[in-house]
Structure 1
Amino acid sequence: MIQPKHLLILLLLPLLTACANNDWRTASRASAGIAPDPSTTPEPVIQVYAADAWGWRGIFAVHTWIALKPRNADQYTVYEVVGWRERRGLPVLRIEQDTPDRHWFGARPELILDRRGEGVDELITQIESTAQNYPWKHEYRVFPGPNSNTFPAWVAQKVPDLQLELPFRAIGSGWAD
C-alpha cells in the first residue's frame, strides 16, 4: 500500500519538474524556425501560435499570440497579452515588431493558424484595427480572464473571416464571449 506522503510526492513530481524546466531567466526566446523568412516571403502572412504557459501553468494551459506580416514587409508585428506588464503600469496588450515564432519562456510554439496570399491583406488591416479597440488593454487575470488567450479569441469574434479556432487549453478564451 502506498503511504500518503509517497502519493503526494508522486503527484507533485510532474509539477515540480515543469517548474524546474521553465526557468524564465535562462529560457530561450529564439525562433522555432516555423515562420517564413520575411526577406524571402513577399506575400502577406498571418500566423497564430500557442505554447505551454510559463511554469506549472503549462501543465494545464497555453499562451497564444498573433503575428502579422503585411505584403512586402521586412518584419513581423506580434500582438499578445502579457500579464506582468500590468504590474509595471503598462498596457497588457503588447504590439511590437518581434520574432513571430519565438519560444515562450522555453516552450516551443505550435502553429495553430497560417493564412497567406490572396485576401490576407484585408484580414491584416481588420486585425490591426480590431486590436486598437481591444477593451481589456489594461486588465489581466490568469483565471477566468481576461488573459493572454482572451485577446486572440476576441479578434476571432471581430474578424470571423480569419477562421481562428483556439485550442482547448487556451484557458480564458471564453472570456471574450
Structure 2
Amino acid sequence: MKLLLAAFAFVLLPIVFTAGVLGSTARHWSTARWDSAGLAPAPAAHPGPVVQVYAARAWGWKGAFAVHSWIVLKPENAEAYERWDVVGWGVGRGLPAVRRNIREPDGYWAGSRPELVGSLEGAEAAAAIPRIQAAIERYPYRDTYRTWPGPNSNTFVAWLIREVPELKAEMPANAVGKDFLGTTALFAAAPSKTGFQISLFGLLGLTLALQEGVEVNFMGLVLGLDPQDLAIKLPGVGRLGMR
C-alpha cells in the first residue's frame, strides 16, 4: 500500500497536475503561436557561427508527459538559421521523419514557449556544425517515428548530442524518448557525456552522470535527483530546483 501511495505521489500526481495546467490553457494547434520567441540572435547582427538546442512542451495530451526538442545551426556569415526536427505527421504517407526548416528557428511550439537547452558560439560552434550536419545524415531512424517510447524528436536530438563531442547539452527530464537507444543497444553515454546510462528499449533504465545526476526511467517517465543543480526531476513536470 505504501509503495502504491509513493508511486501515486511521485509519478501520477505530477502528471495529473501538469495535464490540468495545460488543459486550462490549451488551444488548437492551428490557432496557437508558432512565431519566434526572440531567443536566437539575428543573423545580420550576429555573423558568427551559432548552434542552439531547444525544447518546448509537446502539443495536446502529449504535453502532459513530454517536450518536443530540435536543433538549429547557423554557419559563420550565413543569412539564416537551419532548423532540424523529427516529427510524426506524414511519415505514414512516406514522408521522412527528419524535417528541415518546418518552423521559425526559435519559434513557439503550438503555443508553448521554447527553452534554450544548450548553445555553442565561436570556434566550438564552427567545429560542431559540419559534424552535426554529418550526424543528421546518418541518423538511423530518418524515416521512422514513434511517439512512445521512441524514436521521436527527443531521440533524434539526444542521438546528435551523443555523436558530436562539442555538444554538451543536458536533455530535459521530460524529453520522453531521449533514452531510447534502439532495439539492440543497452548501454550508452549519457546525452551530456558526463556519465553513462542503461536502457531497455527506452522503457526501463538508469542514468548516472555528473550533469544529469541520477535518473530512473520507468515506461519512458523519469524520476531523478540532480545534486549539481539542487534539483529533483518529476514525470511530466520535469526539473524542479533552486538553480
TM band (smaller chain):
0.7 to 0.9
Which residue identity lines up with residue 147 of structure 1 in the other structure? Answer: N
State the partner residue of 2:166.
Answer: 161
Match runs of 1:67-78 below 5 Å: 67-78=72-83
How far has the Cα of 1:20 moved from its partner? 6.2
Q: 1:40 aligns with which of 28, 38, 45?
A: 45
The DSSP-based 3-state class of the residue aligned with 2:166 is helix
Q: Is the 8 A contact 1:65 1:148 kept in 2?
A: yes
Corresponding residue of 2:91: 86
Q: CA deviation digits over 1:62-86, x for unaligned, max 9?
A: 0000000000001000111001131
Counterparts of residues 7-156 of structure 1 (less than 5 Å): 14-15=19-20, 18=23, 21-96=26-101, 98-156=103-161
Higher relative contact order (CA closer than 8 Å, sequence separation 6+): 1
On the 8 A contact 1:32/1:109 being kept in 2, the answer is yes
> Contact 1:76–1:97 (CA<8 Å) still a contact in 2?
no
Report how far residue 161 of structure 1 moved. Answer: 2.1
Provide closer, same or farther for how the CA distance between residues 166 and 141 of structure 1 changes in structure 2, counting only shifts above 3 A: same
CA 1:97/1:125 → structure 2, altered by over 3 Å: closer, same or farther? farther
Q: Secondary structure at the match of 2:55?
A: strand
d(CA) in 2 for partners of 1:25 and 1:102? 14
Considering only aligned residues, what root-mean-square deviation do their CA atoms show, in Å?
2.0
Would the aligned equivalents of 1:61 and 1:170 in 2 still touch at CA under 8 Å?
A: yes
Instruction: Provide the rounded CA distance (Å) in 2 between the counterparts of 1:147 and 1:68.
Output: 20
Aligned-partner Cα distance in 2 for 1:122–1:97: 25
Question: What letter is aligned with 1:95?
Answer: R
Q: Which runs of 5+ in 2 are unaligned?
A: 1-15, 182-187, 189-243
- Distance, in Å, in 1 between the alignment partners of 2:137 and 2:19 is 40
**Aligned pair in 2 of structure 1 residues 98, 42: CA closer, same or farther (>3 Å)?**
farther
Q: Which 4+ stretches in 1 moved above 4 angstroms?
A: 11-17
CA distance in 1, matches of 2:21, 2:103: 31
Provide the C-alpha distance between the structure 2 equivalents of 1:117 and 1:65, rounded to a whole number of angstroms: 20
Going from structure 1 to structure 2, the CA distance change for 1:139 and 1:40 (only over 3 Å counts) comes to: same
In 2, Cα distance between equivalents of 1:35 and 1:126? 21
Summarize the Cα distance change of 1:77–1:97 in structure 2 as closer, same or farther, 3 Å threshold. farther
CA deviations 1:29-88 (Å, max 9, x no partner) are: 100011100111111000000000111211210000000000000100011100113133
Residue in 2 that maps onto 1:8? none
In structure 2, relative to structure 1, the CA distance for the partners of 1:136 and 1:16 (3 Å cut) is same
Q: Is the contact made by 1:67 and 1:78 (CA closer than 8 Å) also made in structure 2? A: yes
Change (3 A) 1:19 1:173: farther
Q: 2 CA distance for matches of 1:146 and 1:85?
A: 15
